[in-house]
Amino acid sequence: MLPRAFNPRSLASVSRLAPWTCASCKIRATTARPYSAQTQVAEKPYYITSPIFYVNAAPHVGHLYTMVLTDIHKRWQLLQGKKAILCTGTDEHGMKIQQASAKAGMEPKPFCDKGAEVFKSLAQRAEILNDHFVRTTDKEHREAVEYAWFLLQEAGYIYTAKHEGWYSVSDETFYPQSTVQLYLEPATGRKIMTSIETGKEVEWTSEINYHFKLSAFKQQLLDFYKQNPKWIVPEHRMKEVVQAVESGLEDLSISRPSDRLTWGIPVPEDESQTIYVWLDALMNYVTKAGYPWPPGKEQAGGWPADCQVIGKDIVRFHCIYWPAFLLALGLPLPKHVLTHAHWTLGKAKMAKSTGNVVNPFFAIDRFGIDVMRFYLAHDGGIVDDADYSNYHIIERYKHTLNGSLGNLASRVIRGKGWNVSRAVRRWAATTDEKEFRDGAAQTHYVAIKSAQLAVQNCMDELDARGAVQAIVQLIQTTNAYFSNSSPWNRVKESGTEAEVDTIIYLSSESLRVAGILLQPVMPNKSALLLDMLGVDEKHRSFDYAEPGKDAEYGVSKVPLGKGLEGTLFPPLDSNL
């Protein structure tokens, strides 16, 4: 029979003379006002998290992708008028950091400070709208981890035992015998043991440490997976997690002897042990949501997370260990976990350890952040890995951004012989495609009207790539409609004003709807496109992303220029 999960909200069940209390909690306990029985429950905002990133080496474009993907989903919520919170940050404890700082000839904390600033800078350069940047060296995070440890211990989920097994410093985890293999290094001929899952070297370790009763949560996890079959995206990774848990769970080592690992949070009341980095790191998600919460504030910071975005290489930690910890603490589980595939370079996985990486700062300097955000969202893999290539970025820019979206904007908005504002006034009240006489116009009106729902369906399924591709499809369809309709010829003929206005209106509406829906992906270029169309800033929300919703645009807010001046996506200076 499982021990009853400790409810962290029932603080009265913990003795006031408990052996451990964090310093800040002691202060709060003596100064805080008692809560009324009628405490108002705060409304829950949408809460999305990225993983926190190791500071042992510089970020690569894979980190940028994770940040951008998370940010797109946050901005999508804002587009719909919802309050949304995004948390990102850095993971600064563990053996990898301890070794990397020693190799750099620095103390761990200054080493982490330097690394954290690099990731903060990347988030700023990528225009990530993060509300929180958590660091596992933060005082509030340390206290939340200590508090959680105390509750787990009080509930009987932690015990001491000898642990023997294969440990990977790179992965910061123990692996059972069934998940390691003998590997012959091609370059050196050296025989080593590696993780089958990650390919990282492992070493045999035997030590006394603390364990978490992970095995006790097998059935609870399986029940949760069954009740929430779409909890993990994509579907095949959900199945892999279920299979892993069905095959059995071993109790989890959650500390290391401090004579081996000094850089981390000491176990409360036992400084001979350091808390296992993954228990420490995973708690960051609730730390910035305000954990531990006062009564009535449990959801004010956003927990449970609506979506947690992670790479496919850390699924086991986030989809098995993390929910087990939460169940043990009596906390609600996140609503969805979006797991994405990797970016490769030359068909090989990007990895800081091998140097096979792309510097994201250089990429942003070269192509601009909106172009990089678009490329990562459009080509990045959720199910399958994507291969990064400057050539692919240039081709995407030439054919999709410059040749399709930018060209359409210039042809419609800067065209001679017609007036966008007049076309909008003539046709904005249209609510049915049958009001257009021309069959091509009717078909295109339906295409515009369908775009909003198509994009929303993709985003509801956490498929940002599908959403971006749906918008691109609308633009490509509009280009074909515009070219086939050839308004530059019809404008020369008498009595064709209504026909020309139809073409210009439907083409402008495509651009307006696409501009609104692309805001989470390319915030700057989308804003420029909507400015070029003369769309009021109050009319740029999701509700306006369908034909006929805005009858007041058509006069540009910015100089349109001539030739290449003032174009949305000017030609690249170089192919290299």
CB-CB neighbours of 223 under 10 Å: 10
Q: Whole-model pTM above 0.95? A: no
Beta partners for residue 233, in sequence order: 338
pLDDT tens across the length of the chain (576 residues): 333 333 333 333 333 334 455 544 443 443 333 333 444 556 899 999 999 999 998 999 999 999 999 999 999 999 999 999 999 999 999 988 999 999 999 999 999 999 999 999 999 999 999 999 999 999 999 999 999 999 999 999 999 998 777 877 777 677 777 788 888 877 777 888 888 877 878 888 778 999 999 999 999 999 999 999 999 999 999 999 999 999 999 999 999 999 989 999 999 999 999 998 889 999 999 999 999 999 889 999 999 999 999 999 999 999 999 999 999 999 999 999 999 999 999 988 787 667 788 999 999 999 999 999 999 999 999 999 999 999 999 999 999 999 999 999 999 999 888 999 999 999 999 999 999 989 999 999 999 999 999 999 999 999 999 999 999 999 999 999 999 999 999 988 988 999 999 999 999 999 999 999 999 999 999 999 999 999 999 999 999 999 999 999 999 999 998 888 889 999 987 654
> Cα(317)–Cα(328) distance, rounded to whole angstroms?
15
Question: What contacts 498, CB < 8 A, 6 or more positions away?
Answer: 426
Buried b (16+ CB within 10 A) or exposed e, 310-321: bbbbbbbbbbbb
Instruction: Work out the burial of residue 229: count CB atoms within 10 Å of its CB; fewer than 13 is exposed, 13-18 middle, 19 or more buried.
Output: exposed
What letter represents residue 509's amino acid? E
Q: With contact defined as beta carbons under 8 Å apart, do 134 and 93 qualify?
A: no
> Cα(292)–Cα(376) distance, rounded to whole angstroms?
36
> Cα(182)–Cα(212) distance, rounded to whole angstroms?
29
User: What's the DSSP call for residue 321?
Assistant: I
> Cα(153)–Cα(164) distance, rounded to whole angstroms?
22
Q: Which domains does the chain have, with CATH numbers?
A: 42-364 (3.40.50.620), 389-544 (1.10.730.10)
Handedness of CA 206, 2, 223, 324 (dihedral sign): negative
Q: With contact defined as beta carbons under 8 Å apart, do 121 and 277 qualify?
A: no
